[in-house]
Structure 1
């Protein structure tokens, strides 16, 4: 008899450990630029610290997947938690002593970025062995809800804690990672079945993982579709913010727009387990793509920031369901010895699209009127949505036909 997720001891330990860690991470993320500005008065330095976190995640993302496939994944997660505790504790001590400097904060940011890049593939691969196949979709959706709730709550709390005392959000993050370390220490992970061939160097292992992903039709197709949509949506988001400013929207109105996007994501994450089961793989993905393709052009016609925020919430509502379906299918189709590399590669590709998208959006906003820039982004999303709708690979998933697995 299959044990429900709510009674799966090891899944609950993993979920709870990261619920607190993600809250602390997001509190730190909002407080970090505030601390840099308070210490140095430089907006450039503030951007540098945040840029270091993102850059470290991108640079380490691909090799991190190979490391997760090569190492003991539980031990790797514990090392990442311990490293973050040490780095953040040093920053708390420096702030309390009045000795915080920009180079120190850059170093701490680099540690946080590297640890995040290493932890995520190890956690994703571990999740697939802690949860039965029939419950993996629900577990992925629950993790998405955890991430969304941690982002909303942690971001809100970070600003408030910083207002009380500069060191406080970082101290809370230290405590969160200490609790996560202790919780993960009690995690029981089934022994892994190691591949027979000897472990090689990281470079060839990364190439082998990428080659396997590209040769698998389901993984290749879903990855390409998701990355392209993320690229155009990231561009669209910046274009809409610029357009709202040009139309005279107040800062509070623009902030509410962004908050409604997050609220839609939280609601969608809570609905994702139900919708994932009801819609099936093909409809789960296609419906999310069509929702965005239909709603995005409407923002070119709407002048109220509050109405745009409502459209944002609707756009975000089905995204967690599509993400749950894509991640679940990819994890089920990937052998355990490659799951870390799968997660690392996906993180690199989606992170790269998220970084390039705003650059594209900025260029569109500078070269074209606001409405035209929005429609250009909408056109890119519509094209990929047509490919998703017509995809024979996704249609085979809907029919329950297995996809060929490359040798």
Structure 2
């Protein structure tokens, strides 16, 4: 076991990120990976919907995968803080490559819905370990002074790749079937692993955490709780964790409901579904490019709360949208706000968390954050099928607005909590 201290260094790395070889390689690899991953974002729900015709099944599968993420999140932070993060990222990519590759191989011999319930939860669990490690690695690669810029760059180009990815995924699924799109997603993990392999290991292996954290031999449960303890001692992070847990309950299954509305209510093809989500990804790109400037101008609290307000209004509007282009435009607005709020939240955690705890704090945050998500995804899927997509959008949007109003009464409203 290798005990590492990595994360947001207390001294920012000098120079421009555009001249940082390791960060640029990492950035390009993750952008390509997200482009491929966007194929599965569309292909898996389409595969379920085409076979079963059930929005409830779509929501249930999303919920099962989300549950696996929550369970993995309990241990992901310890792995990210105690093992070589570069090797851990590569291992996660290779495991997901194998898992997703089994779907088109087995599907070639017949329809096997059970396989999705076996593969996707495992892939989601490994993906949680990857994401926790990824957040900690970005902090080390960029440094404290550049972390918001780095997150914005990663989100923006991932979103740019996501513009083309969903559109192509819809075309591929429409002409060759959803399993062909899943095959492309599997290949994307190989590109991600190669990119991490090409970065220097010295950017991941830094000062031992044992120098800054008391040994806890014989008390492994303390390792698991360390991140949660830090979160709930910090007034802003504590409130964010609680608010976002309810937000994810209302939004984790939202993409499934948008797909269901386009296919079931509006009678659109797989290609149109891909096009709409591709347009929506433009919003993610725009929000990611603007977030650093927005936060510098408005501060953390106004940026985060404002993004939540607009997100809630956008979700409400989805319930009223009657055309494909209206759905696409609203999705772009919604995803822009989600990216602004998400990057602000992640950057704040990276800035205020001690480096040796960053993996466990991220893991604890996401575990708690996603704990209600699987139930919410299943409820949204059931609601869309039995009460209609419009009802689901109205209830979800109104709930998000209530959360934003609650945030105004909490420490989240502070403009510069990172300076406390």
TM over 0.5: yes
CA distance in 2, matches of 1:364, 1:86: 34
What root-mean-square deviation, in Å, do the aligned CA atoms of Structure 1 and Structure 2 show?
Answer: 4.0
Greater relative contact order (Cα 8 A, min sep 6): structure 1 or 2? 2
SS at match of 1:197: coil
Q: Distance in 2 between matches of 1:277 and 1:85?
A: 39
Task: Output the CA distance in 1 between the equivalents of 2:269 and 2:224.
Answer: 45
Aligned to 1:183: 195
Q: Which residue of 1 aligns with 2:209?
A: 194
From 156, 171, 178, give the equivalent of 1:145.
156
1:82 aligns with 2:94: yes
Contact kept, 8 Å, 1:57 with 1:113, in 2: the verdict is yes
- Tell whether 2:297 aligns with 1:278: yes
Answer yes or no: is the 8 Å Cα contact 1:28–1:173 preserved in 2: yes
Larger radius of gyration: 1
1:210-359 mapped onto 2 (5 Å cutoff): 210-233=228-251, 249-251=266-268, 255=273, 260-295=279-314, 306-307=325-326, 309-359=328-378
Q: State TM-score, norm by structure 1.
A: 0.79
The CA deviation at 1:245 is 9.4
State the Cα distance separating 1:124 from its structure 2 match: 0.5
Q: What is the CA distance between 1:279 and its match in structure 2?
A: 2.7
Contact 2:253 2:378 in 1 (8 A): yes
Cα pair distance change 1:233/1:149, threshold 3 Å: same
Match in the other structure for 2:8: none
Superimposed CA distance per residue, residues 23-61 of structure 1 (whole angstroms, 9 cap, x where no aligned partner): 2233244444666789xx556898576665433223212
**1:268-295 CA distance string (max 9 Å, x none):** 2233233233332122112212323555
Give the TM-score normalised by structure 2. Answer: 0.77
Report the more deviating stretch, 262-271 or 162-171: 162-171
CA spacing shift, 1:287–1:106, aligned 2, 3 Å: closer
Secondary structure of 2:370 counterpart: helix
Which shows bigger deviation, 325-334 or 52-61? Answer: 52-61
CA distance in 2 between counterparts of 1:320 and 1:166 reads 27
For structure 2, the 5+ residue unaligned runs are: 1-12
Aligned partners of 1:57 and 1:116 also within 8 Å: yes
**Partner Cα separation in structure 2 for residue 261 and residue 29 of structure 1:** 13
Shift of 1:223: 2.2
| Range moving further from structure 2, 263-272 or 304-313 | 304-313
Give how far 1:340 is off: 1.2
Query: Which ranges in structure 1 are unaligned for 5 or more consecutive residues?
Result: none
Q: Which moved more, 1:383-392 or 1:366-375?
A: 366-375
CA distance in 2, matches of 1:378, 1:90: 37
166-175 or 115-124, which deviates more: 166-175
Maintained 8 Å contact 2:75/2:363: yes
How many residues are aligned here? 397
Question: In structure 2, how many angstroms separate the alpha carbons of the residues matched to 1:49 and 1:375?
Answer: 23
Any conservation in 2 of the 1:229–1:381 contact (CA below 8 Å)?
Answer: yes
